[in-house]
Homo-oligomer: A and B are copies of this chain.
Amino acid sequence: YGKNTIKFLRLHKEGKKHCVKEVEVCTHLRLTSAQEYLDGNNSLVIPTDTIKNIVLVLAKKNGIPTLEQFAIDICKHFMTTFCQVAYVKTYVQEVPWQRLHENGTPHIHSFICVPDGIRFCEAEQCRNGPLVVFAGIKDLKLMKTTQSGFEGFYKNEHTTLPERHDRILCGELFCKWSYGECKDFDFDCIWNKARECILEAFSGPPDCGEYSPSYQKTVNCIQMLVLSKVSQVQVIEVVLNNTFYNVVDMKNLGLTNDKEVLVPVETPYGSCACTLARKKFLEA
């Protein structure tokens, strides 16, 4: 198979207001034949340059109403236009431009980049198969300064980690979920709801939080809340890259450090991942 990536800006106006979407689009294609690999016969190969042109033309003609709709448009175009395409996957990710505000007033044409989690989506289709749509968020860095511990784990002669009931929980989240059949979905609204669930499940109630006994359990809480609150989500995968922080031992320096000064531990670093699906989906 082959894939290629193109980055571009799509501008449009709503009344006097200027709007901007900057996206990176990666298109994967697998052809029905592998003759270009085996025989050096390029007659079915769609050049990278052509794929780029198609993506830009679709952006020009349709705009980018939502990332998901744009990915769907691209998939459909390749499937219907090229009979030599056996499989197509389109990944779209957004540069997080946000409109600037001055004293609460939105600016007509100025934007600031705010990368507090990157929105992405994927649409994929095999010839004669259904078009499947995924959405997600990545590079979302979160921290809880308390209400996190790790106790009762498996121990043997190689164990040196002490049990902790009040540590820092910090990590970079990757979440990706799939939708069922997409009829008239408001993809922006759904995505925002999913993001809110992620933050809520990570944090717990604002006034007291909720104790996390492990990174793994926090991953599961996020999945459960998204599945329960966002009915369109069928399967959800979460990967949490952990950043560990050690309380600095200051005894040699004549001081008691009561979880006031901590240093990040670069290595080992870990991650935990889980994929969870609705029962009805698994049964289907």
Contact = CB atoms under 8 A, between A and B. Distances in A.
B111 A142 contact: yes
Contact of A37 (B3, B4, B34, B217): B217
A153 B267 contact: no
A15 interface: no
Interface residues of A, number: 119
A269 interface: yes
Nearest to A111: B143
A56 interface: yes
Interface string A41-59: 1111111111111101101
B217 A53 contact: no
B60 A250 contact: yes
Interface string A84-126: 1000000000000100111001111111111111000000000
Interface of A: 1-12, 18, 20, 34, 36-38, 40-54, 56-57, 59-61, 81-82, 84, 97, 100-102, 105-117, 140-147, 150-154, 156-161, 168, 199-200, 202-209, 213-214, 216-217, 219-220, 242, 244-245, 248, 250, 252-255, 257, 259-264, 266-274
The 10 tightest CB contacts between A and B, nearest first, are A4-B270, A113-B141, A266-B266, A110-B203, A49-B161, A40-B213, A48-B270, A40-B217, A52-B268, A105-B206
